[in-house]
Amino acid sequence: MHKARMPSPFLFPRRRARWAAAVCALLAAGCSFVPTYQRPPAPIPASFPGAAADSAQSLPAADIAWQDFVQDTRLRAIVARALDGNRDLRIAALAIEQARAQYQIRSADRTPTINLAANASRQPAASGSGSISSLYSVGLGLASWEIDVFGRIASLEASALAQFFATEEARNAVQTSLVAAIANAWLSLQTNDALLGLTERTLATREDSLRLTQLRFDQGVSSALDLRQAQSLTAAARATLAQQQRLRALDVNALTLLVGAPLPDDLLHSGAEAAVALAAVPAGLPSDLLTRRPDVRQAEQQLRAANAQIGAARAAFFPRIALTASAGTASTALSGLFKGGSWGWTLAPQALLPIFDGGRNEANLQSAQVAREAALAQYEKAIQVAFRETADALAGRTALADQLDATQAQAEAEADRLRLADLRYRNGIASYLDVLDAQRALFATQQALAQIRLARQQNEVALFKALGGGWEPAEAIAPAGQQRQPPAR
Helix (H) or strand (E) holding 139: strand 132-147
What's the confidence (pLDDT) of residue 99?
93
By the 10 Å C-beta count (0-12 exposed, 13-18 middle, 19+ buried), 342 is classed as middle
Query: CA gyration radius for the chain?
Result: 38
Q: How far is CA 388 from CA 180, 430, 466, in A?
A: 17, 52, 9
Taking Cα atoms as reference points, which of 203, 202, 230, 194 lies closest to residue 215?
230
Helix (H) or strand (E) holding 251: helix 224-259
**pLDDT above 60 (res 196):** yes
Structural domain includes residue 217 = yes
Those residues whose C-beta lies under 8 Å from the C-beta of residue 326, and which sit 6 or more positions away, are 117, 139, 140, 141, 142, 345, 346
Taking Cα atoms as reference points, which of 439, 484, 441, 380 lies closest to residue 208?
439
User: What is the domain range of residue 347?
Assistant: 113-147+319-352
What's the confidence (pLDDT) of residue 343?
82
Q: How far is CA 447 from CA 31, 406, 410, 432, in A?
A: 68, 14, 12, 23
**pLDDT above 60 (res 383):** yes
Q: What is d(CA 364, CA 227) in angstroms, rounded to the nearest whole number?
A: 81
Structural domain includes residue 444 = yes
Residue at which a domain ends, from 327, 352, 377: 352
Q: What is d(CA 204, CA 238) in angstroms, rounded to the nearest whole number?
A: 10
Cβ proximity of 97 and 305 under 8 Å: no
Structural domain includes residue 16 = no
Q: What is d(CA 285, CA 51) in angstroms, rounded to the nearest whole number?
A: 9
Pair (208, 340) in one structural domain: no
Pair (326, 472) in one structural domain: no
Pair (139, 248) in one structural domain: no
Pair (226, 132) in one structural domain: no
Q: What is d(CA 470, CA 180) in angstroms, rounded to the nearest whole number?
A: 8
Q: Helix or strand or coil: residue 133?
A: strand
What's the confidence (pLDDT) of residue 473?
53
Pair (47, 191) in one structural domain: yes
Range in 36-45, 229-238, 275-284 with the lowest mean pLDDT? 275-284
**pLDDT above 80 (res 481):** no
Q: What is d(CA 194, CA 247) in angstroms, rounded to the nearest whole number?
A: 12
What's the confidence (pLDDT) of residue 444?
93
Pair (100, 169) in one structural domain: yes
**pLDDT above 70 (res 312):** yes
Pair (295, 325) in one structural domain: no
Those residues whose C-beta lies under 8 Å from the C-beta of residue 103, and which sit 6 or more positions away, are 157, 160, 161, 163, 164, 486, 487
- Structural domains of the chain, count: 2
Amino acid at 427: N
pLDDT band at residue 83 under the 50/70/90 scheme: very high
pLDDT band at residue 11 under the 50/70/90 scheme: very low
Q: What is the CATH number of the domain that holds 326?
A: 2.20.200.10
Q: What is the CATH number of the domain that holds 41?
A: 1.20.1600.10
pLDDT > 70 in the chain, percent: 84
Range in 5-14, 314-323, 335-344, 420-429 with the lowest mean pLDDT? 5-14
Structural domain includes residue 443 = yes
Pair (195, 223) in one structural domain: yes
Those residues whose C-beta lies under 8 Å from the C-beta of residue 171, and which sit 6 or more positions away, are 89, 92, 93, 95, 96
What's the confidence (pLDDT) of residue 169?
93
Q: What is d(CA 292, CA 483) in angstroms, rounded to the nearest whole number?
A: 13
Residue at which a domain ends, from 306, 336, 352: 352
Structural domain includes residue 23 = no
Cβ proximity of 489 and 107 under 8 Å: yes
Pair (198, 346) in one structural domain: no
Cβ proximity of 296 and 290 under 8 Å: yes
pLDDT band at residue 19 under the 50/70/90 scheme: very low
Strands (E), 248-402: 320-331, 343-352
